[in-house]
């Protein structure tokens, strides 16, 4: 068996083009709706492992292309995709996160990867960012054939207090959540609010660094990300407890966190690694958005993730009986 990630690359700019054989557009159905993604394949021949990458609450897959390129250059296939209703995927209404639906999307992506002729179906690795980090833990807890999981700045409950958000701001957001939830139950068009705004704005995240945060989510070129979201999903997230799933994981888990994260606080994320039977925690400097804005940190984090995947791939099989 070819060892996973034999080449640990720390600088995406130095990836020789010949190491990545191809990137192809792919699609797979979920409940009759088409999810669109991109499959990166390494130059290595024969069945290879595959990392399935899952974006966060309002994200789109284009923000994960550089991660996929680094994983593919290190010897693995990499699959990125948009959840239904986001980015390049079909589905209506748009911009409405649904936890159960997104978990089904990930399971369908895993099934697609397992069925691909170039991919070893027994070596599927999950990778998730922010809310996607919670999702990959939840999916892996019900799929004993997942080889390992990386959860990056993962969601594990909301912070007790959001810095800079007044009681009035909180009440406005709760009102928007309630109104959008009612509209959803009545089959009406979603009540959209901005994902990112300034302090005092009605937005999911309202900070003085609003413009900077938007730039981190859009990148420097064209993007499918939209600063618009249906807030009903926040009600679902209040009841979402990925730590319970972490306790049921049979595969190794690596949790990568930011020391000064205000969106997915360190202590909340630490609980995921603590609850997992084979959990590891890596703490990095910066905030939630540093993982998007600092290319040097991103390369360092990915190198650590590659090394983790390589170790788990080299380890002897665990008795699942």
Higher pLDDT, 1 or 179: 179
Q: Is the confidence at residue 321, as pLDDT, over 80? A: no
272 and 149 co-located in one domain: yes
Return the pLDDT at 44.
73
Q: Is the confidence at residue 13, as pLDDT, over 50? A: no
Return the pLDDT at 207.
81
275 and 298 co-located in one domain: yes
Q: Is the confidence at residue 10, as pLDDT, over 50? A: no
Q: Categorize the per-residue pLDDT at 130 as very low, low, confident or very high, splitting at 50, 70 and 90.
A: very high
- 24 vs 230: CA distance, rounded Å: 31
Cα pseudo-dihedral 226, 230, 231, 235, rounded to 10 = -130
Q: Is it true that the peptide bond before 194 is cis, omega within 30 degrees of 0?
A: no
Q: Is the confidence at residue 226, as pLDDT, over 50? A: yes
Return the pLDDT at 87.
96
Domain boundary (211, 239, 267) is at 239
Return the pLDDT at 2.
44
Return the pLDDT at 320.
34
- Number of compact structural domains in the chain: 2
Return the pLDDT at 142.
97
Give percent of the chain with pLDDT exceeding 90: 76
107 and 146 co-located in one domain: yes
Return the pLDDT at 282.
98
Q: Is the confidence at residue 228, as pLDDT, over 60? A: yes
Q: Record the pTM.
A: 0.91
Over residues 5-29, the mean pLDDT reads 62
pLDDT digits (tens, 9 = 90+) for 139-174: 999 999 999 999 999 999 998 766 667 889 999 999
CA distances (Å), 168 to each of 162, 172, 208, 212, 262, in order?
13, 6, 17, 24, 20
pLDDT digits (tens, 9 = 90+) for 251-277: 999 999 999 998 899 999 999 999 999
138 and 196 co-located in one domain: no
140 and 281 co-located in one domain: yes
Could you tell me which of 100, 112, 7, 131 has the C-alpha nearest to residue 50?
A: 112
Give percent of the chain with pLDDT exceeding 70: 88
pLDDT mean across residues, the chain: 89
113 and 8 co-located in one domain: yes
Q: Categorize the per-residue pLDDT at 220 as very low, low, confident or very high, splitting at 50, 70 and 90.
A: low
61 and 150 co-located in one domain: yes
Q: Which of 7-11, 161-165, 195-199, 212-216 has the highest mean pLDDT?
A: 195-199
51 and 95 co-located in one domain: yes
Contact 289, 2 (CB under 8 A): no
182 and 127 co-located in one domain: no
Return the pLDDT at 240.
97
32 and 152 co-located in one domain: yes
Return the pLDDT at 277.
98
Over residues 234-239, the mean pLDDT reads 95
Over residues 218-227, the mean pLDDT reads 76
Boundaries of domain holding 7: 1-157+240-321
Q: How far is CA 315 from the centre of its chain?
A: 25
Domain boundary (201, 222, 239) is at 239
Beta bridge partner(s), residue 205: 196
288 and 216 co-located in one domain: no
Over residues 4-22, the mean pLDDT reads 48
Q: Categorize the per-residue pLDDT at 214 as very low, low, confident or very high, splitting at 50, 70 and 90.
A: confident
Instruction: State the CATH number of the domain containing residue 250.
Output: 3.40.50.1820
Domain boundary (239, 254, 277) is at 239
Q: Is the confidence at residue 17, as pLDDT, over 60? A: no
138 and 258 co-located in one domain: yes
């Amino acid at each position: 068996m070819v060892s996973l990630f034999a080449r640990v690359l720390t600088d995406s700019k130095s990836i020789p083009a010949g190491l990545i054989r191809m990137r192809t557009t792919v699609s797979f159905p979920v409940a009759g709706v088409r999810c669109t993604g991109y499959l990166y394949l390494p130059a290595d021949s024969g069945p290879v492992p595959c990392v399935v990458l899952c974006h966060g609450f309002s994200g789109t897959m284009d923000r994960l292309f550089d991660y996929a390129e680094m994983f593919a250059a290190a010897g693995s296939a990499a699959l990125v995709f948009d959840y239904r209703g986001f980015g390049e995927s079909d589905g209506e209404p748009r911009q409405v996160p649904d936890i159960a639906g997104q978990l089904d999307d990930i399971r369908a992506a895993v099934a697609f990867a397992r069925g691909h002729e170039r991919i070893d179906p027994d070596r599927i690795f999950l990778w998730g960012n922010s809310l996607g980090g919670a999702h990959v833990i939840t999916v892996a807890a019900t799929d004993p054939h997942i080889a390992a999981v990386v959860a990056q700045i993962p969601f594990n409950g909301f912070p007790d207090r959001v810095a800079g958000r007044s009681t009035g701001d909180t009440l406005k957001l709760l009102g928007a959540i309630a109104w959008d939830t009612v509209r959803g139950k009545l089959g009406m068009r979603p009540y959209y609010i901005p994902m990112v705004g300034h302090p005092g704005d009605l937005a999911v995240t309202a900070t003085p660094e609003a413009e900077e945060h938007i730039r981190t989510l859009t990148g420097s070129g064209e993007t499918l990300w939209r600063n618009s979201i249906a807030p009903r999903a926040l009600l679902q997230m209040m009841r979402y407890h990925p730590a319970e799933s972490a306790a049921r994981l049979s595969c190794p888990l690596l949790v990568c966190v930011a020391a000064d994260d205000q969106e997915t606080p360190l202590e909340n994320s630490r609980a995921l690694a603590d609850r997992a039977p084979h959990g590891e925690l890596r703490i990095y400097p910066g905030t939630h958005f540093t993982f998007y804005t600092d290319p040097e940190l991103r390369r360092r984090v990915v190198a650590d993730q590659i090394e983790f995947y390589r170790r788990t791939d080299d380890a002897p099989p665990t008795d699942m009986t």
